[in-house]
Amino acid sequence: MIFDTYTPQMVDVHVKTIMELIKRGKSKEQIAKQLNLHDFDELCSVAKTRLTTTKTSEDYYLTEDDLRFATNELVAQYRAKRLACDTLVDVGCGVGIQTIAFARTCKRVIAIDIDKRKIRYALENAKKVDANNIEFIHADGLKALQNLVGADIVFVDPERAPEEKVRSFDTSFRPPLRQLIDASRKLTPSIAIELPPQIQKVDLDCEKEFISVDHSLNRLTVYLGDLKRHERSAVLLPGHHELTSDGSERPLRNSGALKYMFEVDPAVAKAGLSWKLGDEHTFLYSDERDTLLTSNTLLTSTHLKARYELVDAVENKFEDILAVLMWENAGKVVLRQKLAPDKYWTERRKYESRLRGDKTLHVFVFAHEALVCRKLEHERMDEPTRVMLGRMRPKASS
């Protein structure tokens, strides 16, 4: 570990040197040979992370692998405000980004992690920002909880595999979640747990809060005991736009595509709250990633990821879709269909190789139908002639 070899000050010096050499286009092998440093791979990983991360504004110590699991600073700050208290226990603190946020809203934080390197990184990261009200404990979370006395809130971020086909509440986490919950309840009934937002089922009496950052699904936090305020909630960051369940639910009406289409923020969709976005909306389509609503009224909402104006609905045939794109003077097309990354670009190039225009259109592809749309950034520009032109548009021959 780098801190077994260097002081934090020397780590920063070496990391900055590596960052500069990376910016100059030097390869990892060239830099390693030039600097001849102990723990080079770890130093280089920290340098690469500082060059690429958007999760934090501070020059924290974290490797590329740490970055994958690190809490976005916006999420950390939001949760720290919600969980503000006197004494908070953070189980599975990792490199400490969430822990440091808790330290700014709580009088005392006890941070626990089984990984010796991560707990040391967290300690040094806390020193960087003068977060001196954190007690760090290198231990198994379950055992550490059994040795603590008194806390207002326990926050649990359990260890899990980087990837699984199916996330299971009972089998995906270490230590087992139910054991962690039982141990935490001996300290306090107020427990918050971070879970992967893709987890299929959470068999607890809790609030399930889905969080998105810049309309990208980021976190699921479940709240137990007095922390539970609703059954389900969605929080959109930045801006802290919140949508909550209130006990009632109105089913969405199925519909074909109307004049406008709306992508629902994935946190809202995951929380099952898409129906709250307006009486005029009707349900068009949904899968694990996307929920589309449609309406003849153009609405503006912070809970919508994107808005589109329907140009045309045609059969899901290449020549039919291409005819619309060519008529609309498209030069680029964004395909919205389930395709592997390599197949996506192959399919997209089939269209763009035939296009000569300067517009970008979006095509939502379903089994038997394709919806060609124009993305609306802010306010819709009125184009009174477009309706007439639409009636005149030539169709591809069958």
At 218-246, the pLDDT tens digits run 999 999 999 999 999 999 999 999 999 97
Q: Is the pLDDT of residue 379 over 60?
A: no
Cα 38 to Cα 42, 191, 194, 248, 267: the distances in Å are 9, 42, 36, 61, 44
Residue type, 189: P
137 with 80, same domain?
yes
CB 361 within 8 A of CB 336: no
User: How would DSSP label each residue in 68-117?
Assistant: HHPPPHHHHHHHHHHT--SEEEEES-TTSHHHHHHHTTSSEEEEEES-HH
Residue-range definition of the domain harbouring residue 378: 260-392
Q: Would 231 be classed as within a structural domain?
A: no
Kindly state the percentage of the chain with pLDDT values over 90.
75
CATH number of the domain within which 113 lies: 3.40.50.150
How far apart are alpha carbons 227 and 135 in whole angstroms?
24
Q: Report how many domains make up the chain.
A: 3
CATH number of the domain within which 333 lies: 3.30.2130
Assign 397 a pLDDT band (cuts: 50, 70, 90).
Answer: very low
Q: Would 17 be classed as within a structural domain?
A: yes
Residue-wise pLDDT for 382-395, tens only, equals 443 333 333 334 44
Residue-wise pLDDT for 44-69, tens only, equals 999 999 999 999 999 999 999 999 98
Residue-wise pLDDT for 253-279, tens only, equals 788 899 999 999 999 999 999 988 866
The tokens of 130 are what? 């003068």
Q: Would 162 be classed as within a structural domain?
A: yes
193 with 74, same domain?
yes
- State the pLDDT at residue 290: 73
17 with 47, same domain?
yes
291 with 355, same domain?
yes
Residue-wise pLDDT for 127-168, tens only, equals 999 999 999 999 999 999 999 998 999 999 998 776 666 677
- State the pLDDT at residue 318: 97
Mean pLDDT over residues 347-375, rounded?
96
- C-alpha torsion 178→182→185→191, nearest 10: -10
